[in-house]
Amino acid sequence: MKINIDKAIESFRINFSVVKREGAEDLLRWIEDETDFYTAPASAGYHLACGSGLLIHSLNVRNNLEMLNTRLGLGYGDDTIAICGLLHDLAKVNFYIPIQKRRLNTETGKWETYSGYGYDDRFPFGHGEKSVWYISRFMKLTDEEAMSINWHMGGFDDRVKGGSRCLNDAIGKYPLVFWLHTADQKASSIDELNWDKE
Ligand SMILES: [Fe+2]
Ligand SMILES: [Fe+2]
């Protein structure tokens, strides 16, 4: 996958510009001036573990969510699609750090060092929870947006793995929880699967 960062940043700004809510401009300024959103990876090793992976992933999730909204006639507004898609993983800003990793080169049979990512959680607030908190510092979310971003990891959420039953109730009351999780899963498990093999 070849990533054109300038085009991706332009696309992010255009997509985010549909959000006209009070505080949206301050939120964008914070993202651009005080976080590594445009350069951070999307993960430390699973999907888009490369520079600007988070930006690309966020655009992919927004596109998937828009596709579901349009094809299935879900009826969500453009700003809700933009907010949930683009900002669901805001928790990942100022989080990953470049580190040297080791891996076995299966062709040579030798161990080698390569540049990868680890993390340093400077604001350990959870994952979906942290995204909601960061956004809410600047701009109001609807209950359904907050619920969806909070639970976007679905069954992979640590709280669910720890036994919480809230997720089913959340989906029952707010279907967007399911749709955002689906858009996120499609991006990370299908769209971005072979990012380093092309
Ligand atoms: Fe996430
Ligand atoms: Fe995500």
Least distant ligand from the CA of 153: 1
Residue 198 lies in a domain: no
Residue 197 lies in a domain: no
Q: For 43-64, what is each residue's pLDDT tens digit?
A: 998 889 999 999 999 999 999 9
Predicted local distance difference test score (pLDDT) of residue 4 = 87
Residue 196 lies in a domain: no
Q: What is the DSSP string of 28-84?
A: HHHHHHHS-TTT--S-SSSS--STTHHHHHHHHHHHHHHHHHHHTT----HHHHHHH
Least distant ligand from the CA of 84: 2
Least distant ligand from the CA of 86: 2
CA of 107 to the centre of ligand 2 (A): 32
Q: Compute the average pLDDT of residues 133-156.
A: 98
- Using an 8 Å Cβ cutoff, are 150 and 174 in contact? no
Give me the residues near ligand 2 (ion), CB cutoff below 5 Å.
89, 184
Q: Is pLDDT at 10 greater than 90 in this prediction?
A: yes
Q: Is pLDDT at 110 greater than 60 in this prediction?
A: yes
CA of 62 to the centre of ligand 2 (A): 10
Residue 67 lies in a domain: yes
Q: For 67-88, what is each residue's pLDDT tens digit?
A: 999 999 999 999 999 999 999 9
Q: Compute the average pLDDT of residues 135-160.
A: 97
Residue 47 lies in a domain: yes
Computed over every residue of the chain, the mean pLDDT equals: 95
Predicted local distance difference test score (pLDDT) of residue 195 = 64
The residue ranking higher by pLDDT, 198 or 147, is 147
3-class secondary-structure state, position 102: strand
Q: Give the count of domains, the chain.
A: 1
Domain housing 33:
5-191
CA of 106 to the centre of ligand 2 (A): 30
Q: Compute the average pLDDT of residues 109-118.
A: 93
CA of 43 to the centre of ligand 1 (A): 9
98, burial (CB in 10 Å: exposed 0-12, middle 13-18, buried 19+) = exposed
Neighbours of 12 (CB within 10 A): 22
Predicted local distance difference test score (pLDDT) of residue 1 = 58
pTM listed for this prediction? 0.94
